[in-house]
Amino acid sequence: MRLTVRRRRARLRARLWRWRRNPLRRRSDVAEAWAGLLAVVVIIIGAPMAGWATGTAMNDVLQRTARTQGAERAYVPAVVLKAGPRQIAETDPESGDIPGEERTATVRWTGTDGKPHTGTVEIQANQGKGERIHVWTDSRGRIVTPPLDAATATAHAAMTGFGTALLALVIGAVGRQALMWQLMRRRLVEWERAWAAAGQNWGRADAGG
């Protein structure tokens, strides 16, 4: 037990030697220690905070967009006037549902402005002429995409926050690595100068060697 405690203390002293004054410590060692500390702060605190702030801000924007679209768009009934041939539908990029058959149809509906409108939409393969469906329209009675819902807005905001946190981690790691590379180059230069100075006095009687 005592041996384990001593080993832990020895490891801790070895890790903290750059922070203590000693003849072997150089300015590059101190800079490396501060860079390591800064990288830890960025990884543990900075990256999560950046992700949380970005995700929260994005969620506020998307939720306002969802409410605005929900208020401006209406789900109105329509009648199929003409249905085209069946074709394979494309995969939904959000849900990832397996595509089935659908068909293009010309439909007629009455908009919220009280005027009749006609347009082209995609309907299910088993639907045909005379079928009653519903379409999303704007205030002018034009067909639009469905409004953004709150759950989808939250999911997109969460993905944005996670991406921001991950980017902050990458930037912190790359920045620290670049700084370590520069410090290593400077350390090698200092070592070369020290060896050059020692080589001039090597073997001299009054050099203490």
In the predicted model, is pLDDT for residue 5 greater than 60?
A: no
Task: Taking residues 138-153, report their average pLDDT.
Answer: 91
Rounded-to-integer distance, Cα 164 and Cα 49, Å: 10
Q: Which residue has the higher pLDDT, 142 or 19?
A: 142
Chain segment 108-127, per-residue pLDDT in tens: 999 888 889 999 988 888 88
Helix axes 47-72, 150-201, angle to 10 degrees: 160
Query: Region 99-116: what's the mean pLDDT?
Result: 83
How would you class 67 by CB atoms within 10 Å of its CB: exposed for 0-12, middle for 13-18, buried for 19 or more?
middle
Q: What is the pLDDT of residue 35?
A: 74
Q: What pLDDT shows up at residue 156?
A: 95
Confidence category of residue 140, pLDDT binned at 50, 70, 90: confident
**What's the mean per-residue pLDDT of the chain?**
79
pLDDT band at 200 (very low <50, low <70, confident <90, very high): low
**pLDDT tens digits along 29-74:** 677 777 777 777 877 888 899 999 999 999 999 999 999 999 999 9
Residue that has been written with the tokens 């807005």 in this structure: 153
Entry pTM? 0.64
For the stretch 88-97, what's the b/e string if a residue is b when 16 or more beta carbons lie within 10 angstroms of its beta carbon? ebeeeeeeee
Q: What are phi and psi of 94, to 5 degrees?
A: -90, -50
Look at residue 166 and tell me whether its pLDDT is greater than 60: yes
pLDDT band at 164 (very low <50, low <70, confident <90, very high): very high
d(CA 108, CA 83): 12
User: Rounded CA gap, 101 and 128, in Å?
Assistant: 13
Upper half-sphere CA count for residue 163 (Cβ side, 13 Å): 8
Q: What is the pLDDT of residues 69-96, one digit of tens each?
A: 999 999 999 999 988 777 766 655 554 4
Tell me 19's DSSP state: G
Residue 3 has pLDDT above 80, yes or no: no
